Chain A
Amino acid sequence: MDTSLVMYIAAGGLLLIGSAGIVMSSHLVRIIFGIALLEAGANLLLLLASFREGATAPIIVDGHVPAIMADPVPQALVLTAIVIGVGILALALSLAIRVQRAYGTLDMREIRDRMAQEIADTASIDRPISSHAPLPVDVTSVPSPSEGKG
């Protein structure tokens, strides 16, 4: 099997695992790790966009031009993308710490419910939907804010 195919499979796998982590996990730190894996997959894919077997760095020494040169552009791009990714990762983790301190949990479902409750409390509304809207269902029978939109 040639190298680039293996790498493409690896990139696809990272993207898949990362997406699955974000969608299926409810633990905040795992979701953040999912983002990290996703970024790694995307970066690998970007690097592969110009991959050439056996290429060397495009540096001309003493007039000697390498036979196959690697394309430096994606490498520079990936470097930038990695730096951005690390920054966002750090920001996400620091926010996770703040959320954990405020709510005492890292479970995303619980965080969402607590947040919805907080928004409803600050707006001083008890039911999730308007009593003015002529709805076909009985509004008083809607059990919890998580059932409504948002």
Chain B
Amino acid sequence: MNNLLLLIALPLITAFLLPILDRVSTMLARLAGPVVLFITSAIGFWLWMQLGGQTVAIQLGGFLPPLGITFYVDQLSLLFAVAINVGTLLLWPDDGEDRLRRSILSLILAASGSGLALSGDLFNIYVFYELVAVVSYGLVASKSIPGAYAATIRYLIISAFGAVLVLTGIALVYQATGTLNLAQLAQLAPDKLNNLQGLAAFVLMLIGFGVKAELFPVNTWVPEVYATAPTRVSGLLAGVVSKLALIVIVRLLVLVFHQPEAQTVMLVLGILGVVTGELAAWRARDFNRMLAYSSIGQLGIMFIAFAIPGQAGVFAGLAVALHHLIVKPALFLLAERWGGSLEKLAGAARTSPLGAALFIVLALSLIGVPPFPGFWAKLLVLVHLGEQAQSLYYLGGLVILAGAALEANYLFRVASSFYYPDNKQELPPAHRRRDITIASVLTAGLVASVFVLSPLAERLDGIATQASDVPRYIQTVNPAALPEAQP
């Protein structure tokens, strides 16, 4: 199980060795990144096989829980650690002038993303979160155009503000409990954090981590960054990194913060996210920003889903999150050549028929048209929303349905314009083979999952059950669960 640490150590070491490797042999440096990410992905898969249904805690240096640094491995954390590695591999920066620097940053992103998913300690989560943030600034600005710098600095200001909120939340938690180990917090929370201070800490951390998860009031950076960053970086941020931040929030909600108010806050912000995101996407006039706003809307659906109490919420939210994890990077790969005004896309099916077909499949799934996986994910959310007693949950369901109608409107509008019979303007360029190949692979995976829907759902159900099993988390990290915790 200690191989797990390779997921973090290997990309980090390679990242720092890359400049030296590049001096020795450019070819070697070019290959090193993808090879390392392939290895870490393989290690992740292998660990997944080994793990089965178990949960394992790794104490770094052999220091036991209250003192040491803990990594908690269950199916949920491993799934997202693999996702960030595979995602970075698929969206590996293509050859540009800044190839070396972008390779280094991508490797650090993979390492810190794995750390974020696996960490079982609040402060470690903060450190990995900051690492992810700093690396993403570098990646966003890597296009070296003035607009990218401006977008990055605006993103940095919001993100730094969020990080301070997280830190303040951590201070409140530590003040109340005297520990930052998630297992110990889970043990102490019913006594010490089930009050106004705990709620304040949760809201601070929700908004703080929400910056990366495109939560409603702190997502103004999203359209700017996705419009100016390299499209592969946008795909990575929208597809994978946002989910990592989301998973951190879900872990905190499940383990530590049990107040119903916490869920209400998440629900309300999620609803606002869907409303604003989908409406803005409907009005958007360029491809990148349409995708950016639609991802705000999708993340809003996830927040609504995770606000459903208990295992059902984790299950439904996870389904939407994994669906979006596959769809959005594929759409951003199509944006590589289709970026810019939507009106210029008229007749695009003639130069890129496969691209148009992929877009239609992805759009249908995103809207939630049966039999695509997006339909089942949204259905799951709606069913569980309907089971709740509070009327606010019904509002959430209604908003998701209205959002789907809007999505259908703006996505079909684009899709139909691909097939405009005659137009005088020049056609958009065809897709490069590497972009279209990866997008095809992702779409094929999406379509294939339709045929294994019920085993897949069972698997997800298992992951969600495991993730929402608080006693198990405590037991795994600290087998001799302390009868009374020290402050």
Residues of A at under 8 Å CB distance from B?
A: 15, 18-19, 22, 28, 31-32, 35, 38-39, 41-43, 45-46, 48-50, 71, 73-74, 77, 80-81, 84, 87-88, 91-92, 95-96, 98-99, 102-103, 108, 111-112, 114-115, 118-119, 122-125, 127-133, 135, 148-150
Contacts and interface: CB of A to CB of B under 8 A. Distances in A.
A129 B174 contact: no
A33 to B, nearest CB: 12
Interface in B161-211: 161, 163-164, 167-168, 170-172, 174-175, 178, 180
B130 to A, nearest CB: 5
Interface class of chain A by DSSP: helix
Given A38-B164, A45-B171, A46-B167, A111 B280 contact: no
Interface class of chain B by DSSP: helix
A123 B340 contact: yes
A22 B344 contact: no
Contact of B134 (A41, A43, A88): A88
A18 B339 CA distance: 38
Contact of B153 (A99, A119, A124): A99
B146 A118 contact: yes
B372 interface: no
Given A41-B168, A118-B147, 10 more contacts: A35-B161, A77-B180, A84-B127, A99-B150, A111-B153, A115-B147, A123-B288, A127-B285, A130-B282, A133-B282
29 contacts: A35-B161, A45-B168, A46-B170, A49-B175, A71-B178, A73-B174, A77-B180, A84-B127, A84-B130, A92-B156, A95-B149, A95-B156, A98-B141, A98-B149, A99-B146, A103-B146, A111-B154, A115-B154, A123-B227, A123-B289, A124-B344, A125-B286, A125-B343, A130-B282, A130-B342, A131-B285, A132-B413, A133-B282, A135-B283
A65 B213 CA distance: 47
A38 B171 CA distance: 14
Contacts of A150: 220, 223-224, 280, 289
> Which of B145, B154, B224, B342 has the most C-beta atoms of chain A within 10 angstroms of its own C-beta?
B154
A144 B137 CA distance: 28
Nearest to A93: B153
Q: Which 7 A-B pairs have the closest CB atoms?
A: A102-B146, A123-B286, A49-B175, A118-B147, A115-B150, A46-B171, A42-B167
Interface of B: 123, 126-127, 130, 134, 137, 141, 145-147, 149-154, 156-157, 160-161, 163-164, 167-168, 170-172, 174-175, 178, 180, 220, 223-224, 227-228, 280, 282-289, 293, 339-344, 410, 413
A128 B285 contact: yes
Nearest to A39: B164
Contacts of A15: 164, 168
Nearest to A150: B223
A18 B163 CA distance: 13
Contacts of B168: 15, 41-42, 45
Contacts of A22: 157, 161
Contact of B340 (A71, A124, A135): A124
A125 B341 contact: yes
A88 B146 contact: no
Contact of B283 (A35, A87, A99, A148): A148
A125 to B, nearest CB: 5
A122 B153 CA distance: 19
Nearest to A36: B160
A99 B154 CA distance: 11
B141 A130 contact: no
A33 B187 CA distance: 39
A135 B293 CA distance: 18
A88 B154 CA distance: 13
Contacts of B171: 42, 45-46, 48-49, 74
A91 B176 CA distance: 34
A40 to B, nearest CB: 10
Contacts of A132: 342, 413
Contacts of B126: 81
Nearest to A96: B153
A91 B135 CA distance: 11
Nearest to A38: B164
Contacts of A32: 157
Nearest to A84: B130
A3 B228 CA distance: 49
A129 B342 CA distance: 11
Contacts of B223: 149-150
